Every structure is written in structure tokens, then in C-alpha cells.
A and B are shown apart, each in its own frame.
Chain A
Amino acid sequence: QQRQKLKKCGGDEKRVDSRTIYVGHRPCPDTEAFIPSKFCDNRIVSSKYTVWNFLPKNLFEQFRRIANFYFLIIFLVQVIVDTPTSPVTSGLPLFFVITVTAIKQGYEDWLRHKADNEVNKYPVTVLEDGRSVKKESEKIKVGDVVEVVEDETFPCDLILLQSSREDGTCFVTTASLDGESNHKTHYTVPDTEKDLQALPATIECEQPQPDLYKFVGRMHIYKPEQEPAVRSLGPENLLLKGATLKNTKKIYGVAVYTGMETKMALNYQGKSQKRSAVEKSINAFLLVYLCILISKAVVCTTLKYVWQSKEGQDEPWYNQKTQKEKDTNMYLKMFTDFLSFMVLFNFIIPVSMYVTVEMQKFLGSFFITWDKDFFDPEIQEGALVNTSDLNEELGQVEYVFTDKTGTLTQNNMEFIECCIDGFQYKHRDTRSELDGFTVTDGPVNKLQQKAGQEKEELFLRALCLCHTVQVKEAGSEVLADQVDGIDGLLLPQPEEERGFIASSPDEIALVRGAMEYGFTFLGLESKSMKIKNRENNIEEYKLLHVLNFDPVRRRMSVIVQTKSGETLLFCKGADSSIFPRVRPEEVDRIRMHVERNATEGYRTLCVAYKQLSAEEYAVADTGLREARLALQDREQKLMAMYNQVETGMSLIGATAVEDRLQEEAAETMEALQGAGMKVWVLTGDKMETAKSTCYACRLFQRGTELLELTVRTLEDGRLKREEKLLELLRDYHRRAVQDAPPVKAGVTRSWSTANQDYGFIIDGATLSLVMNPPREADASQYRSLFLQICQNCTAVLCCRMAPLQKAQIVKMVKNSKGSPITLSIGDGANDVSMILEAHVGIGIKGKEGRQAVRNSDYAIPKLKHLKKLLLAHGHLYYVRIAHLVQYFFYKNLCFILPQFLYQFFCGYSQQPLYDAAYLTMYNICFTSMPILAYSLLEQHISMEILLDNAALYREIANNAMLRWRPFLYWTVLGIFQGLLFFFGVRFLFSNPALQDNGQVFGNWSYGTIVFTVLVFTVTLKLALDTRHWTWINHFVIWGSLAFYVFFSFFWGGIIWPFLKQQRLYFVFANMLSSVSAWLVIIILILLSLLPEILLVVLRKPRGPHSRQVYLFLPFPF
């Protein structure tokens, strides 16, 4: 039966739900044949193209873009059908666009290749045929036995076979995977012999799946002349790619999942192309213009045939048709006429806008990399831009999802103060503490003045004993050699500061804190804990029981026996879980301190103790042992036992530990909230910790009413969990949504007490209940209630989140009503999914690996840089690109409108008004540089003002500059100017004798005059909008105009041998020799800009802040 299964696995991997791995690729004696199965290799691929498929794939992707496809069609129509303009006029810009985009995307992909290679080429050691071989990481195959040394990350998912530690364990930190930086213990598979070179074993395990905490497998170890031993494998045997080996010299493991099948890779969501809201607006506008274009073509075609139906109009004697034309089917003619009109007017959809937008984004993103404010001297790096497509999205963020550990906080616990018996002991380095109210003259002296020595020592002993901290063994060579027989060449390390390892960093902080007061924990050796007391005597305690921490109880205890035979229970835990279990009269003295500390953002713990009599201990001991061995309901039994033991204690003190916030975390958060963004904290961390962080960075204020939706609040004897959940949701909804005054968008957060602030807290388990309720029907109700509550809260905290849950939350908000723009910021691999999910993903170049940075759109060294990134860069980019887009549509509308109007005067014959050179060059040369310079350099408000007034960010919220209203304004402006250009010149040409020698002007003169007015008007319109004239702006604006004049002279000054018709020969020069032409050009330019100037002046608000407010609007609408 087993054999059959094995065979199946080897042959057909995809269909079965488990895979079989031959450790070290050795055939096993028990299976008939060794069938090497195909697994994917250990390459991580985040790049999109290879050298070979770049061209076809990139072209395909580019032409999937509606605009590019449209231009391709136009180009093909021009090639096939006889159209008024040559294919070059649209082919050249299209070629230009495609080339520039391809170069840009190629460059970006090259960067991704580089990043991939860094990972894939990382050298690893693999055991092969008894030798260790150095390989590149990407060469690892499933079944390879891999060696990993301390502080290296695992190159793929491994089953731990052998560890250099004696007890067959190793420590890893999964900081870059799930954000937990504590050390986790993993175990070797029992019974794997020391000799890995010839271990005949197979592993049978499930197919790759993304859940980081689940793994099921079996290992068959074949021994000669014995039944194969079967060992079950669980997550505790699996070392995940991306995790780092700690405090263990070396391990060996067999690769089970490689490359894109590792759990880390599976936790990345597919990189979908992120589109910015601006791009969506562009597409919407594009559709409008497409409609305008089509209706123009339809109108012209219809009128043409109406007009032609009149006798003599269709084919006057002076312009007869060829025989072929006469023979053409009438409907076919109509169709080709329609296409010709499309081609004639196609310039209304600006092909060059795309290339300008691309260039603006690409070049503009350099300003982020160049910004020296983003440079962090610590890591010697500045900001990094991975995608330049989203620059403007930085100015549109409505929701900020931030990771806690490593992002808001430095993940660096520090013991701040303690309170013993109601007296406050504050420990600080004297140099760092200058607070007026803190008196600091050395901690030890302080202690003795306040509480009785006995109490102090009891408290400090409690701190030293009540924990699960281990002392780091590194540094003692003897020990290293004993454990690690293979590698004896380890360099002797200097005795450094005592290292501790613990599952929670604040336990270490507490132990260190006790050390400051003279009690040092020396370590745990064979069930006895050693501490060094103030008199430098070693005290020894026998560790009897550890009552582990769990999030529901929210406390932990140890039971120890002193030398003198006393049995003591020390308990530490959250205030809420300790206070009910101690004598009430002791509580009040300490509660005050605890509450004060909590509001200051510290993590507080209360410490209690109890002396157990021999009988009591005996009861507890047997109870605990029984519960531990229970086969059924072990958890509940243990819990009951713990609760039974942890009663009737006496409170001895409290501690305050600070998780140091990132620099300027609170200021940054405040600025973000001031800018109208809602900040959500998504963390995998415990609720208490996260909550205190939220207080510390002022996301929750003293007056904030917290709405809690956690496993704890759902614990209710009466109701089932989902019923309780619904009840709570309804209740919170009533409080936060219905009773609250409607929150107006853009209103500054009120500080008055009348307006209640709400904070919302939810944990992962409850969230999954909300998202996937047992009854499917409730899902939408739950979700909408939940979302509404969240949206009305100033800050939301989601704790105990799995990486994918973070993404789920982001997705939910992203898809909610109004589809707000979301931003995720994080530093670890656990944030990757949320970074990928959000509209904008920001990676922090923190300590926890590079996954977040690599998958982010932007990476910054510190949280504090987010403020400038959003408020200054984002704001400016948005204004720049919005103006760019509107301007582009506008300038092409007034470019093409005269050409459309001209059709009414040329018998709808598709006669172009402008020469082909002008048609082609208009967008590429004459009017492109000023807007590009504008869109790179404009600062309608200076960066300092933007940073100082976060509220300015609200001015551009909700895509304010690309809504229909401003779009309509620009369109009307374009139409107005187009009409003016055409009819102004039309009236002038009622007498075409415009020169003082009586000679007349022809149609190309007409077009050239209109075109000259056009180029000058649109350029000067931009000049009017420019608020920030650097020399570059001057150069390109005046330079463009000069270039236009120069080009026109040049183009008309030479008989071009390659042209079939010298249409513009001396047209421009002749035009300039006519005074009337000059005068009409001047008046039309002025008249076109007149309304603009008037609006600017009349709209200027007056008042104390006039200058500032006025500056908000780069143009009136």
C-alpha cells in the first residue's frame, strides 16, 4: 500500500496531494526503483522578461494598452487606406513611444534581475556524496541536504535533520517572515543518525501551501533488516526559507520546498500591475475624447454625403474622379471616408501624452532617490524607487496601513521603570534623562529610600525568576566545541555582554532591568536557576513548574523552590489579569502607576507572588502533571489548573517597558492624520503591545474611546461567539456611526471633547470570523458593519494578523465604497502581501531582510521619511501630473478643433489645415518640453509649506484635479480657443490679400497662421500656470517658441529634396512679412488668454491667508 503511493508520487507529481522526497537523492532499500521526480528549482524569479522574450512579450504588453493599440490601428489605416496624412505622422510618434517605454521597462526589469541574482547566486553548502560542495542557492534541488551556519538565512524550506546543539534543537528567527523577532525553537527529527551521508530515508509531505504555521509530513527511515521507522513531521521540524538561524552553530536539513514553492514565495501574491488613479482618469478622459473623435468623424462623413448630394458638388468639372473611385462601392467609400476623418482628427488623442507621462514619471522618480532628506547615515542608503508609475498616487493616499514591529517601533525593548509596593523607581541613564520631574541620582540609592529592602529584593528576584529567558551560550569556546564536533575551528569570541534569548523581547528587557538593580540571571542549568544578587552571591532556585504565557490568560508563572525549601510562585502578567487575583487592598497603590505608564505608551506588567505550603504545592504539582499528560482536552485542563494555582497572590509591583518608537513616529503619524489619512496598524504582535504602541505614537489619544473586538471580548458564557460578535458589531456601529455626528471629509480632527474619537481594535481570530462567518449569509452584513465602524474611527488597530490577513484587510478597504487609495508600509517579509495588495507599497529598509524592500513600490530608510514622501513629494507629483494630463488633452483639443472646423470650408474633403511637419512636430517638439519641464519642476507651493501644513494635502484629496469639473473646464477652454483660432483667421481671410504688395495668401498660409497662434497660446497658457520659474522653465518655454520660429523658417527656407510637395516653401517668412498676420496673431493670443488671466485675478481670494490659499490652486476651475 505504501509502495504504491510512493510510486504514484514520483511519477505524477501534480495530481497527488503529497510529494515524496528522497533524502540526499539516495534510493531507499525498500522501494523498488528510485524515480527522480521533477520539482521546481530553487530560483526566485521576480523579473518579467528574459533577453529572448523581451521584444515580443514587451510589445504584446504594450499593445494591450488601449491607447497604443489605438495608435497602431490608426497607423495601419494610414498605411492601407488613402488618407490625408502620411503614415509617418502617426508612425513616428508611436515608434518613439514604444521605444521609450520599452527602454524604461527593460531597465526596470534589469534591476529586478539583479536583485534576483543576488538571492539566487548566494553561495550555499550542500552535502553531496559525502562531501560538502559549495553551490549557488538556485542550484539546490529538492532532496539536497543543505548546511546552514549561524546568522544565515535558509535558502529554501528545510526539514531539520541535524543540529550542532546537543539537544537536537536550533533557534531561528522569522523576523523577515512574520515580523516576530523572537527566537523560535525547532527540533530535529528524532532517530536520524549522526551520519547524514548515508541516511536512507524518504520524506512524504503535503504539496506546498502558503500557511506558514502548518506543515504535515512523515519521514520513513530505513534501517537494514528492520521495519522502516516512521516519524511524523510537523511545523516544528520545518525551517522556512527567509528565516535566520540563530544561536546555533550549524544545522543540516533536507530541502523539501524550493524556489517559488517555498512558503515564503507562496506568501507573495502575484505581482499585478498597479495602476494609479491618475491613469484611470486618463483612460476615462481618453474615452470622452474617443467619443468626440468618433462623433467628429461621423458628423463630417454624414455632412460630406449630404453636401455631395447637391448637384455639381460631388464632382465639379475641375476635380474629377478617377475611374477607380467612380467604381468604388458607395458604402465602402463612406467607410474609407470615415476612416480618413478618424486619421485626420486622431491627433486629438495625444499619443505623446503617454510618452510624456512615462518620462515624467521615470525622471520625476529620481527626485525621490536624490532627496538627501531620505538619506540615512546609519545604513548609508537613501530612498529607492522600484516603480515610477505610482509617484502621483503618493499624493492621493487616504488609508495608511502600517506594520508595527520595525516600522512604528524599533523592536528594541527597554526597561523604563518599575514600581515596588507603590513606590516609583525610575531607571534612566543620567546622561539621557533631563526631564524636570524625574529625579535621578542613581537607581540603587533610590531604591533604599523608598520601599523596604525585603520587598525590593523579592520583586527583583521575581523579575529574575519569572521568565523563560535563556542565556546565550556563544562566547564560551569549550561549550562550542563540545556541542559541535565538526567545526572546531571557531574563533574564540571575546566575552561580551551577556546575551539573552527569549520568545519575547520584553522578557529580556525585564531581566536586563533586574540586572541594573543588581540582580543578574545567570542561567538555567538542569532545572535550577542561578541568580547573582547584590552582594554578588549566587542564589540557586529549583525550577519546579513553568505556567506558560498564553494570550487568553495573559500572564505566566513559575514555581520555584529556594535553597531553604520554600516553594514560591511568581506570576507576572497584564494588570487586568493580575488584579483580580491579588488582595484588593494592594491594588490601588499600584494601579495608579500602571495606568500612568500605560498612557505614556509603555508596556506594563504586574508582578505578584505567593508562597505555597507543602500541601498546596503537592496538590498543584499533581494537578499540573496530570493535566500535562492528559490526552483529551489537555488545553482546557491545563487552563483550569493554572487558574486554580494562580489565586490569592499578593501584588508586589509593576514594571514598565518601552518598545522604542522609530524616530519621529508620533510626529509622522500626526502629520498623516492631519493630512486626512486614516492610519491602520496591522501587526502580528500581541494586542497589549500594539495598543501601547498606538498610544505612544498618538494614534490613540487619552480621550479616544476604544472599541475592542477581540477573542477576549467575545468570550461570553451566555452567547455563542458569532452571536456575541454580531451584538458587539451592532453596539459599536451604533456608538461610532449612528450616534456620532457625520464626519465630513476634510474636516480637521477635532480636539474638543464634544467630538468623541473612536479607536477600533480587532484581532486576527475575530477578523477571520468577520470575514468568513460560519454562516455565509452573514458575511456581507458583518463586513459592512465592520467597515463602517472602521471608517468612522480615527485609528484602527488590527493585531495578531497573519500576513495574508493583512492583505485581506487592505483589499477589503481598497474595494470599499469610493475605492479609496491605500498605502501599506512595512519592513518585513510578513508585510509583503499587504505591500503588494495596497495601491502603494512602501518598504522600510529595516533590519528584517530585504523582501519588503524588494516587493515595495518605494523603499525608504525610516518611517519618518514617509511624511515628506507623501506630503511634499506626493503632493507635488500629483499636481504636476494632473496638470500635465489636463494640459495635454486641452492642447490637443485646440490643436485639432480648427482642423475639424476647416472641413466645413473645404467640402469635407479631409484637407489638413496644417502641414504634415506641423502635425507631427506639434506634440513631439513644439509643445512637449515646456510641459515636461513643468511636470518635473513645478512647486506651486514650496516644500516647506507643504511639510508644515499637513492639511494642504486634503486640497488634492479624491483626485481633485482630475475630476470631471476641472476636465470640463479645460475642455471648454480648449474649445473656446480652438474656435477663436479658426474663426479669427477665417475672418481675416475674407480678404486674402494680406501683404502690402497686393499678393494673396493660400491655404498653407492660413494653416500656418492658425498654427502659430496655437503654439504661442498653449505655451503661454502653460507659462501662466507656472508658479515656479527656474532657469529650466525659462529655457524650455522661450526655447520652444524660438525653436518653433526657427524651425518654421528652416522648414520653409529650403527646397527639401525628399518631399513630394514643397507646400510650406517660404510660407512662414511671407506670413511674417504681413503686418495683418502679425496683428491677428497678437490679438488672438491675447484674446485666448484673457479669460484665463481674468479668472486668476478675480478668483484670488482675499483675506489674511490670501497668498497661501491662492497658491493652492495652480489653475482655476
Chain B
Amino acid sequence: MKNEGEAAKRPDNTAFTQQRLPAWQPILSAGIVIPGFLLIGLAFIGIGIGLFLTSQTIQVWEMDYTGVEKDSPCFRCTILSNQNCTCEVTFSLSTLFTGPVFFYYGLSNYYQNFRKYGVSKDYYQLAGDTGYFKSPEADCAPYAYDSKKNPIVPCGAIANSIFNDTFELYQIINGTKKQVPLDGKGISWWTDYNIKYRNPSPVNGSFAKSFDGTVKPINWPKPAYELDLIDPNNNGFLNQDFLVWMRRAALPQFRKLYRRITDGDYAAGLPAGNYSLKVHYNYPVLSFDGRKKVVFSNVSWMGGKNDFLGIAYLVVGSLCVVMSVVMLVVYAKFKFSDDDDA
């Protein structure tokens, strides 16, 4: 401290230490803000119009098939004792429903975002790690073991509660039903299907063997390795319906993609006419006052139909324009009134 050289004691004379770094000192002056607001406002109005018009072109047909009312077609299926119940909903389209048409199912008052529900799965199982098949994650409780203490695979509330209504769509042409082919591929995220979820490697060539010593989830009619016996790429944890279900919805009222109508005669869309939707009604929702619905929709570059975005852009855009005008008036008034810094 004492015997250091003078140079060491004298503070460094650099721009940083002397707080004299060159600096840009922006001022939000009216001259910048008013034209800026105007430009932003106009741009937003432009985008808003685009969004709004796009949203308007999207066709949506949706219908609640829960069967709450006595006269609704699915009412009889709401009685719990009625197993393997099917019901049929008919509807007609007056114009062509341009394709590709996306077929969603929707649930409301259904809380996929419960915290306990959300953590109730075992990622390692779903990544195909058989080491975890015998000892499911503790968070899966009470869906980790069945009453005989057998481990459940896939464990947890999410897997257990998979949506199991199935639908068949028919076009009624002259009284005969023509089945509309539903495409179950590509309805889940690419990364979920290809990377995140993995099936266990087959044991001795048998996929089912790798599930030895485990039981299916309580609510499932069949084990995971029998989800799709026709297409092995859609089986087990890679079943697309399963993957869609496993991606939890953000809000208690949600829709999930069920199928796409992209094939055959319907690639261009659903032509005008009468249709019949056959529902295999399995999923109980009335116990918690839930509702089920089906939605047909086509999509645009902005996704499904959503007027909010367009309206928001229009409102904010107009707000900006109005503001710029107000500011211009205020500014002009003050500028002339006291003739400031020229």
C-alpha cells in the first residue's frame, strides 16, 4: 500500500473508469415518435386486415355430441352401464369444405393442466427404457401399480385417461354411406413421434415381450403394444393418438387433432352434402360436468380460425394512428404556443 509506485496509485485514465465511454443518447422526440406511430399503426392495420380476412376464410364446423339433452343422439350412451355404445350424428354441409380438412375433438371443463395430473407420467418408460418398466416413477401414483402391485406401463394419470372415443365419418350419397378415409398420421409433433417418445426394443423379436411383467393402464381396454396392430409404426408409445393426448392442453377447454382428411376423393375437401358421424362413445365426461365436441376445420398459414389476432392488430393499429394524430395536434399546439428551441 505504501511502497507501490505512483503509477499504481494514480487511477487509470480510461474512458471506462472515468465514466466517459462514448454513448448514444437517444431522445424519444415527437419528431420520431409521431411518424413512427403512424407507420406502425398503418403496418398493423395492414396485418390486421390480412389476419382478419384469412380468419374469415377458414371454415369451421363443430358440434357438441356429449348427449346432455334427452333428444340428442348420444344421450343413451351417457348412461354408464351402456358399454360399447355407439351413436350417430348427422349433419349436412351446404358448400364445399375445402381441404385439407382437420378433424379435432374438443373437451371442456377438462383439466389436463392439473399439476398432479401433469407430472403423473414416467418419461423414461415412454422413452422406451425398460429398466423403468418395473419401477414406475413415484409421481405416477395412484396409477403406478395396479391392485396386485403389478407395475403399470405406461404409468400415470395422463396415459390412463387417454381419450378413447373413436369416430367414423360417412358421406351419405343417395342414402348409402360412403366412408370418408381419415388419416391418423402427422397429427402429433414430429419431434414427439421421432425423438422424444421411443418404443422399447423388441425382446426376441416380439414387441409384446418387452412389456413382460407389466400390466396395461387400468382404463385401457388393451395394452400399449396392441394400440395399433395393423401399423407397427403407430403402435405402443408411438401411437399418434397417444402422443397427441400426452401433450397436455394449456386450458380446461381445448381441442386436439384427431385425424386429417387428406386422402382419396376427399383430398380437396368435403363436398357439400349430408354426412353421418359414427361415434364410439366411451369417454365419460358428465361426472365432472364436461363436454365433448367434434370440430372440422381447415387451416391457413396462421393456423386454425382465430379472429382475436386480426381484431387485436386492427385495434392496436388504429390506436397508434389515432395517437399519432393526437400527438401531432398536441405537439403543434405547444410548439406554436411557446416557440421553443429552434
Contacts of B119 in A (CB 8 A): 1061
**Chain B residues, Cβ within 8 Å of A382:** 9-11
Q: Is A937 an interface residue (CB 8 A)?
A: yes
The segment from B21-29, B174-182, B230-238 that touches chain A is B21-29
Cβ 8 A contact of B22, one of A381, A911, A1030: A1030
Q: In the docked arrangement, what's the CA distance between A987 and B127, Å?
A: 34
Instruction: Kindly state the separation between the CA atoms of A1055 and B124 in the bound complex, as whole angstroms.
Output: 11
Is there contact, CB below 8 Å, between B28 and A1093?
A: yes
From B112, B196, B300, B320, A1062 is in contact (CB under 8 Å) with: B196
| Interface-located stretch among B70-78, B255-263, B274-282 | B255-263
Q: Please, which residues of chain B bring their CB within 8 A of the CB of A1001?
A: 250
**Chain B, Cβ-Cβ closest to A369:** B11
Which of B116, B255, B300, B319 has a CB less than 8 Å from the CB of A1000? B255
CB neighbors of A among B2-24 (8 A)? 6, 9-13, 17-19, 21-24
Number of A residues near B (Cβ < 8 Å) is: 93
Cβ contact within 8 Å between A993 and B21: no
B221 to chain A, nearest CB (A): 16
Chain B residues, Cβ within 8 Å of A135? none
Interface contact A999-B257, CB-CB below 8 Å: yes
- Contact code string A360-383 (vs B, CB < 8 Å = 1, else 0): 000000110111101100001110
Expressed in whole angstroms, the minimum distance between the Cβ of A1051 and any Cβ of chain B is 14
* Docked-complex contact A1090 and B319, CB < 8 angstroms: yes
Say yes or no: A1079 contacts B302, CB within 8 Å: yes
Indicate if the CB atoms of B196 and A1076 lie closer than 8 Å.
no
Tell me if A312 counts as interface (CB < 8 A to partner B). yes
In the bound assembly, the distance between CA atoms of A444 and B325 in angstroms comes to 82
Q: Which of A192-200, A448-456, A1097-1105 contacts B (4 or more CB under 8 A)?
A: A1097-1105
Q: Assuming A1066-B191, A1093-B33, is B257 touching A1106 (CB within 8 A)?
A: no
CA A917 to CA B301, docked complex, whole Å: 31
Q: How far is the CB of B182 from chain A (nearest CB, A)?
A: 13
Whether, in the assembled complex, B68 has its beta carbon less than 8 Å from a beta carbon of chain A, the answer is no
Asked if A319 contacts B299 (CB within 8 A), the reply is: no
In the bound complex, do residue B123 and residue A312 qualify as a contact, i.e. CB atoms below 8 Å apart?
Answer: no
**A382 smallest CB distance to B (angstroms):** 5
Q: Which of B159-188 contact A (CB under 8 A)?
A: 160-161, 186-188
Interface centre among B252, B284, B303, B335 (most CB of A within 10 A): B303
Q: Of A319, A322, A984, A1106, which one neighbours B341 at CB under 8 angstroms?
A: A1106
- By the criterion CB–CB under 8 Å, are B19 and A1000 in contact? no
Say yes or no for B97: interface residue by CB 8 A criterion. Answer: no
A991 in contact with B255 (CB, 8 Å): yes
Confirm or deny: B85 has a beta carbon within 8 angstroms of a beta carbon on chain A. Answer: no
Residues 284 to 335 of chain A near chain B (Cβ within 8 Å): 312-313, 316-323
Also in contact, A911 and B118, with CB within 8 A (given A1060-B123, A1076-B303) = yes
Contact present for B40 and A907 (CB under 8 Å): no
Q: Which of B12, B127, B192, B300 contacts A370 (CB 8 A)?
A: B12
B297 contacts partner chain A, Cβ-Cβ < 8 Å: yes
CA A321 to CA B100, docked complex, whole Å: 42
A906–B288 Cα distance when bound, in Å, is 14
A1033 CA to B21 CA in the complex, in Å?
A: 11
> Using Cβ atoms and an 8 Å threshold, which residues of chain B touch A322?
141-142
Binds B, one of A162-170, A386-394, A677-685, A1002-1010: A1002-1010
For B115, give its contact among A84, A998, A1030, A1062 (CB under 8 Å): A84
Q: Do B306 and A1076 have beta carbons less than 8 Å apart?
A: yes
Whether the Cβ atoms of B287 and A993 lie closer than 8 Å is no
Q: Does A35 contact B (CB under 8 A)?
A: no
Contact present for B141 and A375 (CB under 8 Å): no
CB atoms of B9 and A992 under 8 A apart = no
* CB pair B313 A907 closer than 8 Å: no
| Contact, CB under 8 Å: A906 / B114 | yes
B309 close to A1079 (CB less than 8 A): yes
User: CB within 8 A of B303: which of A318, A1007, A1074?
Assistant: A1074
Complex CA distance for A321 and B327, rounded to whole angstroms: 59
B249 at the A interface (CB under 8 A): yes
B330 at the interface (CB under 8 A from A): yes
Q: Decide if B312 touches A993 in the complex (CB within 8 Å).
A: no
B312, A991: Cβ atoms under 8 Å? no
Cβ-based interface call for B216 (8 A)? no
Cα–Cα distance between A392 and B309 once the two chains are bound (Å)? 45
Measured CA separation A993–B141 after assembly (Å):
31
- Residues of chain B within 8 A of A1074, CB atoms compared: 303
Point out the residues of chain B lying under 8 angstroms from A990, CB to CB: 253, 306, 308
> Interface code A107-144, partner B: CB below 8 Å = 1, 0 otherwise?
00000001000000000000000000000000000000
From 1019 to 1040 in chain A, residues with beta carbon under 8 angstroms from any chain B beta carbon are 1024, 1027-1033
Distance in angstroms between the alpha carbons of A1028 and B21 in the assembled complex? 9
Whether a CB of chain A sits under 8 angstroms from the CB of B189 is: yes
Q: Is the CB of A992 within 8 A of B196?
A: no
B225 within 8 A of A: no
Separation of A910 and B115 alpha carbons in the complex (Å)? 6
Residues of B within 8 A of A1002 (CB): 247-250
- The answer to whether B33 touches A1097, judged by C-beta atoms less than 8 angstroms apart, is yes
A320 CA to B117 CA, complexed, in Å = 9
- In Å, the complex CA distance between A1076 and B247 comes to 19
Contact with A987, one of B6, B288, B308, B340 (Cβ below 8 angstroms) = B308
> Complex: how many Å from CA A1059 to CA B102?
34
Contact B187 A317 (CB under 8 A): no
Q: Does A909 contact B (CB under 8 A)?
A: yes
From B23, B44, B137, B260, residue with most partner A Cβ within 10 Å: B23
Is A988 in contact with chain B by the CB < 8 A criterion?
A: yes
Known interface pairs A907-B114, A909-B111, A991-B303. Does A998 touch B341 (Cβ–Cβ under 8 Å)? no
Write the nearest CB–CB distance from B155 to chain A, whole angstroms. Answer: 13
Binds B, one of A174-182, A425-433, A1080-1088: A1080-1088
Closest to B121 in A: A1061
B90 at the interface (CB under 8 A from A): no
Identify which of A321, A374, A380, A943 contacts B19 (C-beta below 8 A).
A943
Taking a contact as CB atoms under 8 Å apart, the answer to whether B330 and A1098 are in contact is: yes
Chain B residues in 8 Å Cβ range of A381: 9
In the complex the two chains form, is B113's CB within 8 Å of A911's CB?
A: yes
**Contact (Cβ within 8 A) B250 A992:** yes
Residues in A906-925 with C-beta less than 8 Å from chain B: 906-907, 909-912
Known: A317-B287, A1031-B21. A372 touches B10 (CB 8 A): yes
Contact A1028 B249 (CB under 8 A): no
- Nearest A-chain residue to B283, judged by Cβ: A318
- B223 interfacial contact with A, CB 8 Å: no
Among A312, A323, A992, A1027, point to the contact of B255 (Cβ < 8 A): A992
Shortest Cβ gap from A367 to chain B (Å): 6
Cα separation A312 to B22 with both chains bound (whole Å)? 65
Q: Which residues, 370 to 418 on A, are CB-close (under 8 Å) to B?
A: 370-372, 374-375, 380-382
CB-based nearest A residue for B160: A318
In the bound complex, do residue A905 and residue B191 qualify as a contact, i.e. CB atoms below 8 Å apart? no
Contact B12 A993 (CB under 8 A): no
* A/B interface sample: 28 pairs, CB < 8 A: A84-B115, A316-B288, A317-B287, A318-B117, A319-B116, A321-B142, A370-B12, A372-B11, A375-B11, A994-B304, A996-B301, A997-B299, A998-B299, A1000-B255, A1004-B248, A1006-B251, A1028-B23, A1029-B26, A1030-B21, A1060-B137, A1061-B121, A1065-B196, A1066-B195, A1070-B189, A1076-B306, A1097-B28, A1106-B341, A1107-B341
Q: 6 nearest interchain CB pairs?
A: A318-B161, A993-B304, A1006-B250, A312-B288, A370-B17, A998-B102
Given contacts A318-B110, A905-B250, 11 further A-B pairs with CB under 8 A are: A317-B161, A319-B111, A319-B116, A372-B13, A911-B114, A999-B188, A1002-B249, A1003-B250, A1030-B23, A1096-B28, A1097-B30
